Each structure stands twice: as structure tokens, then as C-alpha cells.
Structure 1
Amino acid sequence: MPIKGYTCRLRVIFAEIKLKDPEFKQETFSKELGISRTTLYSIVNEKSLPSFDVAYSIAEKLGMRIEEIWIKELVQETKKEKDLQ
């Protein structure tokens, strides 16, 4: 469930990493970032959005851009657009 208009792809990204590296653990990843395992769990499961610093650190550690991890949801059609249809 997206929170505040963003969908987090970390669950998929971590699954892809785990396929390539069976030793990968989210707990180790969170320790390397300096955040708790429960904080990372909340982010991955879209219970909360990370601070900019944490999002930047996650993206940097994964070698990705923030926009590749958190996808902004499209804004629903405005009333005016609906009326034109």
C-alpha cells in the first residue's frame, strides 16, 4: 500500500539481490546504514517514508537513484478532466 503518494520498490529490489547473493540480510543492510532493523522493515513494508538522509543512504548503498526506489504515484484525474470525458 503506497504511503503519501509513493510506492516503495525495496521489497522487490531486496528479493533480486537475495537471488544473486543468498547471504544478503536486511538486518546487516540496516546496520550498515546505521538504522534499526525495525525502521528498515517499516520502510520496506510501506508503513513509513524514510527521512531524506536515510532514503539517500539507501539509494547510495544500492547504487540507485531515489526515484528508482520510491516511485511517485500518478495524481488521479481532476474533476475537470473527468467532466471532459
Structure 2
Amino acid sequence: MDYIPNIFDNHLENSVPEVREIPPPRWCVAYYRNGRRNFIHASRYLAKEIGTIPEGNLKKYCNGVLLRSIDITQARMLS
């Protein structure tokens, strides 16, 4: 005999739909303040404010710094 699964077993008529949160973005752009464009000072400031930034997660981006967060906590701090 072939087994045909019943896909409607877990569905209830009065069930509440699942609520999902949109995760914060992993990449953020931090712009320089007062027209200062010093990448080294910006990276040191960001590391002091949000914690360790792994190598390769911080890049120059137009008039700012492109930063990739390592976890959700860091992403929330950036946003």
C-alpha cells in the first residue's frame, strides 16, 4: 500500500496565524560626522561602541563606512 500523508492534520480552523519578526539588516552604513573622513578613527569608534568587528566586516563606502554585524544584538545596536 502506498502512504499518502494528510497535509491538513496540523491545520485547525480557529488557529491564530504565526507572527514573525523581520530581522534587523546585517549590513549597515555609518556616515562620517562633520565632514571628517578618517576611516581609522571611524573604525576605532565603532569598535568601542558596538564591540569587536571581525576583519573584513568593515569597508569604506562612498561618504561613510559599510559595516556587517556579526549577530542580531550588534545589528540592533547599529539600527
- Which interval holds the TM-score relative to the shorter structure? 0.3 to 0.5
Higher relative strand content: 2
Q: TM-score, normalised by structure 2?
A: 0.33
Higher relative helix content: 1
